[in-house]
Amino acid sequence: MPAETLVTMAGGIRDVALAFTVGGLLAIATLLPVGHRAVARAAAIARWASVAWAVAAVAYVFVSYAFIRNSPVDPERFVEEVWAFVTTIDVGVAYAQMALGAIVVSVLAALVRTPVAAAWSLLPVAWALGWQAQTGHAAGAADHHLAVSSLFLHISASALWLGVIGALLLMRGPLGGDAKPAVLRGSRIALWAAVGIIVSGAANAWLRLAHVSDLWSTTYGRLIVLKMLLMSLAVALAARHRRVALPRLSDEQVRERFWRVMMVDVGALVAVVLTAVVLSGTAPPVPIEAVEEPSPAYFLTGYELPPAPTFLNWLTLWRLEILSAFAVVTAGAVYVRWATRLRRRGDRWPWHRTAWFLLGIAVMVWITQGAPMVYGMVTFSGHMVEHMLLVMVAPLPLALGAPVTLALRALPARTDGSRGPREYLRGVIDSRVLRFLSNPIVAAVNFAGSLVVFYYSPLFEFALTNHVGHLWMLVHFTLAGYFFANALVGIDPGPNRPRYALRIVMIFATMAFHAFFGVSLMASEVLLAPRWFGLMGRDWGPDAITDQQYGGSLAWGIGELPVVLLAIGVIIAWRRADEKEARRKDRQAERDDDAELRAYNAMLARTAQRDRDR
């Protein structure tokens, strides 16, 4: 059998087995009540599918090497050659990491006994998917970051969708008449996954098709059309389920018909995945060619140098980073959905909190998709603007939006012993790690200190040269800023908030620290990340060290305004708390005829009497 066919077969088994592994683990983690008879079936699905995934992923390494080598192999040297392939060649390393991730999951899946353990076992799955996203056509594509991020989102969402409905189908026996809650939960996950697939599939297709006509004039395009048709069938069936079958799932007959239709649904998605594997082995209309003489900026960042920064360019330069865009926009949409849910059931949720949160989301969209991200890649000062907006500006309105409080109020509590989003959120909030990170002192140290640790350690270059590093930077500094702002002016659960006076002290302490950090950069003659900013080859703006010093003044400048706003926020909260306390005391005095004042006066009288006696 030709190596190419073996690659497609191993790839197909790998991707379908991966999906069922995810489905089995998710069923234990969140679809099923603890102790339900279907849990054993879900564990068996996760166990066997993960073994199939691991075997296919390992086989994929060997058959891919044979296919890439494309010449007869000396059997004695084959393993040695494959070892060189998986240790020195980027795509070989990626295949090996995928196989490693699959092997780790297959071991964990054999040990999983609780929903939380099943949830944790999904982490190495994300690791394997992260490496898979760096292979195929994404590896050499122009706009490499978008290609890799959109493929990661795409294959994660497809594993979720096929996994959830595939696992539900295989659990239909033990689920019996209890199917409805599990199916409802599964269909919500499938809905979000479908949104993720469409967004990332469109981005992927956009990168690989030169013109819309490629959809019908090229093999690659026709395969995408086939995928979209199969997907539309799956979506139509799912919509019909939700409308017709789901409300009446307790009826045995309806349930039988439901599972039969679900078989078609799963069949359609398995067909899509197999089509996708063929697609990833088919040459796309936009050829993947190495750039002949890349400019220094293109060589380092994968993008040409942006135009010199002007006021207009700061507003009009955009570049899609699909993962952060999907996360930020989804956060905004979910927030509005929850606030609407509260209002619909007659609970109050202050409009200004929604306004604050959406303002924070808008700032995050600009930071992660706009000029701060674009200039942050090529100049130190641009990076400092991106960083300061991320840690100082966006978190303040986000914290004032009180998203965690809203989530705990809007998310329904599970009553059947299963763990849903609310239970996991509660678990995270009450965890020792979160209690430590949200402690006001720790939040202040993290807020100010991680700035210095980040810029004066290899982390800075890691975040510049590696997309995962960049995404980690986005998450870390947004959370650092959120914990600090929440400790000072937020209402979200977590920290024991210090007295207002101490909060003011903390604010000015971090302010001084930022000023010190800014001044040290302004005075420094040592270039940070020299192999990046020193080699960028910019034909505009000051030289790298002057730009870094300018970055120092920005760190100082941009940092001060949000800190002043924080201080104003604390003072307003302080005054409000005092007024509230005064009102409470007044009400108390009215209720108990001013017992406190009378007790105080009595104490004074006793003291005076004692003095007189003495």
Instruction: Name the site residues for ligand HEM (rule: CB under 6 A).
Output: 11, 15, 136-137, 154-155, 158, 161-162, 197-198, 201-202, 204-205, 208, 224, 227-228, 231, 269, 272-273, 276-277, 279-280, 284
Q: How far is the CB of 280 from ligand HEM (least distance, A)?
A: 3
Report in angstroms how near the CB of residue 526 gets to ligand HEM at its nearest: 43
**What minimum distance in Å lies between the beta carbon of 414 and ligand HEM?**
27
Taking the least distance from each CB to ligand HEM, the nearer of 268 and 373 is 268
Q: List b or e across 479-496, with b for residues whose CB sees 16 or more CB atoms inside 10 angstroms.
A: bbbbbbbbbbbbebbbbe
Between 100 and 570, name the residue whose CB sits nearer to ligand HEM. Answer: 100
What is the distance between the alpha carbons of residues 94 and 100, in angstroms, rounded to a whole number? 10
Nearer of residues 269 and 474 to ligand HEM, judged by Cβ? 269
Residue 47 or 154: the one with the smaller Cβ distance to ligand HEM is: 154
Could you tell me the smallest distance in angstroms from the CB atom of residue 379 to ligand HEM? 33
Q: Say how many C-beta atoms besides its own lie within 10 A of residue 516's C-beta.
A: 13
- DSSP letter at 393 equals I
- How many CB atoms are located within 10 Å of the residue 11 CB? 26
Q: For 525, how many CA atoms within 13 A lie in the half-sphere containing its CB?
A: 0
**DSSP secondary structure, 517-533, as one string:** HHHHHHH--SPSSHHHH
Task: Specify the residue, 17 or 171, whose C-beta has the smaller distance to ligand HEM.
Answer: 17
Q: Of the two residues 112 and 224, which places its CB atom closer to ligand HEM in the complex? A: 224
> Which tokens belong to 20?
């069922």
Cβ–Cβ < 8 Å for 120, 30: no
Q: Whose Cβ is closer to ligand HEM: residue 239's or residue 428's?
A: 239
Among 612, 614, 585, smallest CA distance to 600 is for 585
CB of 230 to ligand HEM, least distance (A): 7
Closer residue to ligand HEM (CB): 193 or 487? 193
**Interatomic CA distance for residues 393 and 385, integer angstroms:** 10
Smallest gap from Cβ 16 to ligand HEM, in A, equals 9
- Minimum Å gap between C-beta 281 and ligand HEM is 8
Closest distance to ligand HEM from the beta carbon of 187 (Å): 15
CA distance 77 to 263: 45
Closest separation between CB of residue 329 and ligand HEM, Å?
18
CB neighbours of residue 611 within 10 Å: 8
Residue 610 class from Cβ within 10 Å (0-12 exposed, 13-18 middle, 19+ buried)? exposed
Q: How far is the CB of 276 from ligand HEM (least distance, A)?
A: 3
CA distances from 188 to 239, 242, 333 (A): 11, 10, 15
Residue 510 has phi, psi (to 5 degrees) of -70, -35
Torsion of CA 211, 216, 222, 225, to 10 degrees: 80
Residue 540 to residue 530: CA distance in whole angstroms = 18
CB of 285 to ligand HEM, least distance (A): 11
Structure tokens at 205: 């297709």
Cα dihedral 502→505→507→511 (10° resolution): -160
Residue with tokens 């959370």, as numbered in its chain: 479
Name residue, tokens 């409080």.
405
Contact between 358 and 406 (Cβ < 8 Å): no
Nearer to ligand HEM, 66 or 277 (CB): 277
Q: Which is closer to ligand HEM, CB of 198 or CB of 491?
A: 198
Distance, in Å, from the CA atom of 282 to the CA atom of 287, rounded to the nearest integer, reads: 11
Question: Whole-angstrom Cα distance, residue 599 to residue 612?
Answer: 20
Cα separations in angstroms, 171 against 27, 74, 113, 265: 9, 46, 17, 15
Nearest partner of 554 among 437, 427, 391, judged by Cα:
391
Nearer to ligand HEM, 162 or 444 (CB): 162
Closest approach, Cβ 571 to ligand HEM, in A, equals: 51
CB of 208 to ligand HEM, least distance (A): 5
Q: Which is nearer to ligand HEM, 36 or 208 (CB)?
A: 208
Rounded to whole angstroms, the maximal C-alpha distance in the chain is: 112
Is the Cβ of residue 102 or residue 394 nearer to ligand HEM in the bound state? 102
